[in-house]
Amino acid sequence: MQTHEIRKRFLDHFIRAGHTEVPSASLILDDPNLLFVNAGMVPFKPYFLGDQTPPFPRATSVQKCVRTLDIEEVGVTTRHNTFFQMAGNFAFGDYFKREAIEFAWSLLTDPVEQGGYGMDPERLWPTVYVDDDEAEGIWRDVIGVPAERIQRRGMADNFWSMGVPGPCGPCSEIFYDRGPEYGVEGGPEADEDRYIEIWNLVFMQDERGEGTSKDDYEILGPLPKKNIDTGMGIERVACLLQGVDNVYETDLLKPVIDLASALSGRVYGAGNAEDDVRFRVIADHSRTAVMLIGDGVIPGNDGRGYVLRRLLRRVVRSMRLLGATAPTMAAIVEKVIENMSPAYPELAEQHDHILTVAVAEETSFGRTLASGSVLFAEAASATKAAGRERISGDDAFTLHDTYGFPIDLTLEMAAEAGLQVDREGFTELMAEQRRRAKADAAARKSGHADLSAYRDFLDRGPTEFTGFDELVTNARVLGMVADGERVVVAAAGTEVEVVLDRTPLYAESGGQTADIGTITTTAGARLKVKDVQKLNKQVWLHRVVVETGEIVEGDEVLASVDSGWRHGATQGHSGTHLVHAALRQVLGPTATQAGSLNRPGYLRFDFHASSPLSDDQRAQIEQISNEAVAANYTVNTFETDLAKAKEMGALALFGENYGDDVRVVEIGGPFSMELCGGTHVGTSAQIGPVTVIGEGSVGSGVRRVEAYVGMDSLRYLSKERALMAGLSASLKVPSEQVPDRVEQLVTRLKEAEKALDAVRAEQARAAVGSLIDDAESVGGTLVVAGRVGDGVDANGLRTLVTELRGKVADRDAVVALFAVDGAKVPFVVATTAAARDRGLKAGALVGEVAPLVSGRGGGKPDLAQGSGTDASGINSALRRIREIVGQR
């Protein structure tokens, strides 16, 4: 029996029983609790609540429903659909349990020739709420179902509500036994794969309040009238009456799967589980999308539009994963409309609109996949290379915000790559984006408050960058964005992002910071450019403050780079290349790049290395770099294809993506050759002196070298010279003798400190020597406790305690010493074997007294130590130790 026939028989059955047929409501209703209509009773909710008087005492309908909470399960299991048709019959204070049960039973079991579905009564199993004796009695005594086929179930299974405050009540469900080949015997309680629910009869009599789960909410009281709300799943009944294993093989979904198979060349049910999931996703999601578009939903970035976009993009991606390379959405949508329009003729009427919306989203997502998939692959590769299992929240946010990837798509792709996603980090970035319309320094690297404001710029194509050849360029204002919204005019004092058709201003990338400069209009407006960022690596966003006048979209302008800033930036970037080349000469080819940053006069370069640079290596790197400066190498730039550049030995920079054509920066022929999109000096002499100012670790196996170049290098050296002159004068030695003289002073200082420590230790020993003589017996245990002289550190104190314990090792004794060492209060406790036998443990004692000196500590039963910061608590700590010992 075809699905449309099942639907018609249901309506006809209840119309004959005096029900008024009510057409399906739109999937979108004005209900703040619902994104979409998700149950057949939703349009009747005002009648159940008593808010409105029903125009009829009983009704019947087949309602369109959408549920997307378990979208990830669609296709993975064969029981989940996002769109489904819920056939229902409703009574508003008219009839109740007995009639509802009789109506359902007769439709299910009446012969086909009499308008029923002709199901075998022996295969039907009713369930009732745990204390609903009335319903069980009707099933047993009126319908004649044997008691052993009627099962009672709890609130989670047989008490219905919408999941939000509203009408509710006990229910009785009808299950169909598909036979032993589908699972074990024992009814629905034993196996809900074998026993599949097809009808739910809700005896709606109460109103529920707030709650957190299916069985955790308050019953507020009875409804004004007892009502009946029943729902029969059209798709599930179709599955049974058509003799197929699951709903995806029924007459409304299988044709879509067959079409997807023809378009992709893959076969459904051929043993490839992943392909089968994709086929089912395509069939389910395409139908849901068509129904949503038909009810007025348009793809968007939030709410209903986001759900639709998510569904359509899952269809597109699933088709591509099946091997389809050409657009397929038009053919799939045509098939869905053909299948569904007999029951929903409005789909045929809106054919062109539905097709246009779906195909436009496929086209848009095609561009998204082309760019975003590359970024995802790079993020996944970098994650694995770093030995991590989770893609960062920042990468996930970039995919979502800049490339339009829904987070669920990133999650799916990550799972396929054997990775997870830092969902918490992603959520935090999303929350921050919503809180702040203007992105901060971190967010600007990831995207913008509302990417839709930038879509037009991306569609126009890349910004023409003229900055390699000139510092001043005539341009036109393509548009402006302020606080995430498009604006057509910006007045003095405002901050906006300006997009030009062409620009000489360098956008931050490749480790090089952005240019600063100005944008001026022919009318005299002046804009200060504070920052320049790339959107999608192709559109330049100039972040500006309008200083005078106003700027209007479409204005002809003059964009200018601050020449001093650019000169310093080129020195820093070219200097980075020199330092990179010098590092490889000194450390070898394993010193590969792990990151870089250069700005006017300064550079830092991260590289892979297992150990710090020695003083000699650091000096060599600085010397090699400056020799290259002195050689006045010509800096050549040229474009070639990636393969040829690699053959030439050009090095790729960390974190950069390269297309087929690349830009090569060559300094001194073989001395340095790298792929680079940055700006550079004309000759190496223009870099000026290179001074390495520091080297250190920034992570496991990664080191960082920092350097000044040009005038910043000279200024740094001038300060160093002044410092050396001051030391020379203070020490009264020539500057070349300062290092030796300082070393002599340091050696003498260390020797003096060592002698002082020895004196303190001796004084401490003398002081604690009397502690044994003054020790007191507490409850039979000798307590040797006190405060030693100041300046004894934790190690010295530990030595003293160990020595004291050795002197009383044959006794039941506890030794506890405290000291003051600068701002610290170290303390050590030791116990003898006899004391431990009595249950006195050093670690426990330390735990008790540590808070009294505002500290922490721990250790073993025989020896433990800690450190605090409050010396005023030492006496209290000593008393507490004696108290504890006395309690044993």
Binding residues: 573, 577, 676, 680
Q: Tokens 């314990």 label which residue?
A: 805
Q: Which helix (H) or strand (E) holds 103?
A: helix 97-109
Residue 778's H or E segment, with its range, is strand 776-778
Query: What residues contact 864, with CB distance under 8 A and at least 6 apart?
Result: 828, 829, 830, 842, 843, 845, 846, 857, 858
Q: What is the b/e burial string over 852-866, where b = at least 16 CB atoms within 10 angstroms of the residue's CB?
A: bbebebebebbbbbb
For 11-77, what is the HEC assignment?
A: HHHHHHCCCEECCCCCCCCCCCCCCCCCCCCHHHHHHHHCCCCCCCCEEEEEEEEECCCCHHHECCE
173 vs 230: CA distance, rounded Å = 9
Q: Are 824 and 874 in contact (CB under 8 A)?
A: no
Stated length of the chain: 888
Determine the Cα–Cα distance for residues 705 and 451; give it in Å rounded to an integer.
37
Q: Which helix (H) or strand (E) holds 334?
A: helix 329-340
674 with 665: CB under 8 angstroms? yes
Closest CA to 687 of 572, 834, 523, 858: 572
3-state secondary structure 708-720: EEHHHHHHHHHHH
Order of all β-strands in the sheet with 813-818: 776-778, 781-787, 813-818, 825-831, 863-868, 856-859
Burial class (CB in 10 A: 0-12, 13-18, 19+), 803: middle
With a CB cutoff of 8 Å and minimum separation 6, the contacts of 410 are: 376, 391, 396, 399, 400, 421
Report the relative pairing of strands 863-868 and 825-831 from DSSP bridges. Answer: antiparallel
Element (H, E) at 395: helix 393-401
Binding site residues for Zn(2+), as ranges?
A: 573, 577, 676, 680
3-state helix, strand, coil in the chain (%, to 5): 45, 25, 30
- Tell me how far the alpha carbon of residue 257 is from its chain's centroid: 33
Beta strands in 600-736 (DSSP E): 602-608, 635-641, 661-667, 672-675, 690-699, 702-709
CA distance 591 to 104: 77
Q: How many angstroms separate the CA atoms of 147 and 132, rounded?
A: 14
CB 31, CB 150: distance < 8 Å: no
Tokens at 50, concatenated: 């008593």
